[in-house]
Amino acid sequence: EPEVTQTPSHQVTQMGQEVILRCVPISNHLYFYWYRQILGQKVEFLVSFYNNEISEKSEIFDDQFSVERPDGSNFTLKIRSTKLEDSAMYFCASSERDRGDTQYFGPGTRLTVL
Amino acid sequence: AQSVTQLGSHVSVSEGALVLLRCNYSSSVPPYLFWYVQYPNQGLQLLLKYTSAATLVKGINGFEAEFKKSETSFHLTKPSAHMSDAAEYFCAVAFRTGGFKTIFGAGTRLFVKA
């Protein structure tokens, strides 16, 4: 069964450094998403992406964040200058359509900012 | 505004007993509703979803949920708990405002006692 993959599984970085989290969505999916989950808290929506542009973003997704689909398979989340509070699990998801279509989640990348 | 409330951050049941996890939502537009399960150190797995078809939705692992518009509820049930059901469960509401956005509840951790 097709699945969403994410790399790396764990990323440790120093405060102020840039990080790029990578995701490979399911190949025929057109909608892509990033979520984060701070330890012990709920899953929070960051951004949705369709047709090479952001279609929706939350208040969390400020100028420090950016997303890109650099080629036909990868979908990346970049944090330009990491802060301690960026430490969280970041989940990528994809869906074939929107309108309530099932979002398939990757296993997540645990980001630790020291 | 859209929101999701899960009643009870922790629920404990005996093996073989009924599982009931409560979810209430608020949405100004017709919602799409989901239940996800998260096992320790794993991503989110879809249990079931409601997308305006049948109000009683059956999912994987014997779970089902009923959409009750009058009560704005989407409670998750399973007739007989199994030890392997111990996990975190998230209710989510999805809606379209320009793009497509999903809001998650705070989660309910299910404990199953032998």
DSSP for A62-90 reads: -TTEEEE--SSS-EEEEESS--GGG-EEE
pLDDT means per 10 residues, chain A with 114 residues, are 89 97 93 91 90 90 94 92 96 82 87 97
B30-81 per-position pLDDT tens digit: 788 999 999 887 788 889 988 877 889 999 999 999 999 999 999 999 999 9
Strand, coil or helix: what is B70? coil
Q: Kindly identify which residue of chain B lies nearest to residue A46, measuring between CA atoms.
A: B101
User: B43 — contact with chain A (CB < 8 Å)?
Assistant: yes
Continuous segment of H or E residues that includes residue A56: strand A53-57
Q: How many beta carbons lie within 10 A of that of residue A1, not counting itself?
A: 4
Nearest CA in chain A to B109: A40
Closest partner residue to B104 among A42, A48, A107, by Cβ? A42
Q: How confident is the model at residue B22 (pLDDT cuts 50, 70, 90)?
A: very high
pLDDT of residue A104: 86
Residue B96: Cβ-neighbour burial (10 angstroms; 0-12, 13-18, 19+): middle
Q: Does B109 contact A at CB distance below 8 Å? A: no
Q: Which residues from chain A sit within 8 angstroms of residue B3, using beta carbons?
A: none
pLDDT interval class at B99 (50, 70, 90): low
* Contact: A105, B90; criterion CB under 8 Å: no
- Which of B36, B99, B104 lies closest to A56 in CB terms? B99
